[in-house]
Structure 1
């Protein structure tokens, strides 16, 4: 428990430091694709930017004025952990999709409020977080338990 709290506090401090200026507004991100498969049979593809380094994770989608409906950013964590984020310097509403190691969606925080300093956390340990446009999860019927297909997540055998 203490280790998880330490990881969360470290990430929060990193995000606080990152949000203080435009230094992080110039990060570049590798790109890729992922698919979300819903329990109801839907398959939704997203063009993604991938945040893996501390600097990329700190910048995230801050300072963006728009996000295409089929676009998003995938944060791939170095280790499975409880993840906490916020919306400082984020100009658009986002849905945050928290994903475990096998690609299952643990929980979704819908329509995160731009500029908010409120902490948004996963409901348990996760390997990644997908940020998509605010309201897209509801519009597409994406729910906890659905599956994200991407090489960062290993499906159960």
Structure 2
């Protein structure tokens, strides 16, 4: 009978340790699986249309475009923050090269940075902003968009 109690106790301890390990691993697992189901907003940049997924929560912004192997040519992700601040982005666990436009409250692009996959290099806005739009690398440059260009249709005032 004593051996059965010890075995049951050992199984319970092993189960608790396994649950604890899986709980701790959840964020790492989430970074290996692209997030889906985010709302999509249509933005305009000159004559170009963008279909941008909207990342509004801390968790959505933290995961961003991690683990994606590709993105459609006019697709992107818009990160929405509660308050304007200097926003800095990196590319840990992000597999595709991206360009990020830091966008002011009125939809004006403040600055654009080019980012390499799987890099911890920090890329920051030159002024406080509430919005960051990530697109495939070179998207803005190929369309002649730069600091001072204006986006429309987003969460900013019309």
Q: Smaller-chain TM-score range?
A: 0.7 to 0.9
Cα RMSD between the aligned structures?
A: 1.6
Q: Which residue is 2:30 aligned to?
A: 23
Taking the TM superposition and a 5 Å limit, the aligned residue runs for 1:77-116 are: 77-110=81-114, 112-116=115-119
Instruction: Give SS of 1:58's match.
Output: helix
Q: Deviations over 1:108-128 (max 9, x none)?
A: 002x10000000000101110
**Superposed CA offset, 1:63-85 (max 9, x none):** 00001111000001111111001
- Contact 2:108 2:151 survives alignment (8 Å): yes
Q: Unaligned 5+ residue runs, structure 1?
A: 1-19, 38-42
Segments of 4+ moved more than 6 angstroms: none
CA drift of 1:129 comes to 0.3
Indicate the residue corresponding to 1:71 in structure 2: 75
Following the alignment from structure 1 to structure 2, what is the Cα–Cα distance between the partners of residues 73 and 53? 13
Number of residues of Structure 1 aligned to a counterpart in Structure 2: 131
When normalised by structure 1's length, the TM-score is 0.79
Q: TM-score, normalised by structure 2?
A: 0.78
Cα 1:88–1:134 shift into 2, 3 Å = same
| 1:23 partner SS | helix
Q: In structure 2, list runs of 5 or more residues that go unmatched.
A: 1-26
- Partner Cα distance (2:144, 2:61) in 1: 27
Distance in 2 (CA, whole Å) between partners of 1:78 and 1:118 is: 24
- Structure of greater Rg: 2
Q: How many angstroms apart in 2 are the aligned matches of 1:36 and 1:127?
A: 18
Q: Which has the higher helix share?
A: 2
Q: Which residue of 2 aligns with 1:10?
A: none
* Partner Cα distance (1:148, 1:69) in 2: 17
Flag the 1:26–1:109 CA change in 2: closer, same or farther, 3 A.
Answer: closer
2:44 corresponds to: 35
